[in-house]
Amino acid sequence: MSDSPRTPRFDDRARRDLYDQRVVVLDGPLDDDNGPLLATQVVALAARDPDADIAFWIHSPGGSVPAMLALRDLFRLVPCDVSTLVLGIAYSAGQFLLSAGTPGKRRALPHSRVLMHQGSSGIGGTAVDIELQADDLRHTRDTVLGLIAADTGQPVDRIFTDSLHDRWYSAAEALDYGFVDAVVDRFDQVVPRRGAVPTGFGVGR
């Protein structure tokens, strides 16, 4: 086995180039490290130009619930529209962020896949701890499912039922369900625009 370091396929330079074109990328799991970074990028781009769209590209198996809720809050707070695009997979938190984009500007590549589920609980500890954790989990679950219902136009009861078990959707099915507004069929639907002069909030500066 070679001891030479592996060259990243998607390095800081690529991220910086996309950032300068107002593209933010979630590639891989969403966690408490990249979540705040993505949030900072969204805020910085909105401050740079409050009228130009921000593109949020997703290829993710899911991840942190607090991070995804924070990002959705920012999608709604920033003055510009946030378009979302699933590049390959948008599972769990990835699905949540995909459908949280600005209505009319949520897209999927033709062979992408979307997964909706309620996630794992991870409950443990004493009986009192378990009861408190269960109450918090129910609150978080109900909040998330209510937001998915609001973003997709589906009734909360249907979202609850459909999310009880892992449920995968093709791009066409995701469109029909309301996760996205269109399946990409033209290059101009995904090509990023060149942003203004960088302000120093980019990646790897």
Cα–Cα distance list, 67 to 47, 71, 77, 106 (Å): 21, 6, 15, 20
Contact assessment for residue 71 and residue 97, using Cβ atoms and an 8 Å cutoff: yes
Q: pLDDT per residue over 48-102, tens digit each? A: 999 999 999 999 999 999 999 999 999 999 999 999 999 999 999 999 999 999 9
Q: Active-site residue 92, yes or no?
A: yes
Residue 168 has pLDDT above 70, yes or no: yes
Is residue 159 included in any domain, yes or no?
A: no
Write the CATH number for 99: 3.90.226.10
Is residue 140 included in any domain, yes or no?
A: no
Is residue 204 included in any domain, yes or no?
A: no
Is residue 105 included in any domain, yes or no?
A: yes
Residue 127 has pLDDT above 60, yes or no: no
Give the distance from CA 24 to its chain's centroid: 10
Q: Active-site residue 64, yes or no?
A: no
Please state the domain count of the chain: 1
103-127 exposure pattern, b = at least 16 Cβ within 10 A, e = fewer:
eebbbbbeebbbbbbbeeeeeeeee
- With a CB cutoff of 8 Å and minimum separation 6, the contacts of 131 are none
Per annotation, catalytic residue among 92, 99, 112, 163: 92
Record the pTM. 0.85
Domain span at residue 18 reads 12-120+165-189
Is residue 180 included in any domain, yes or no?
A: yes
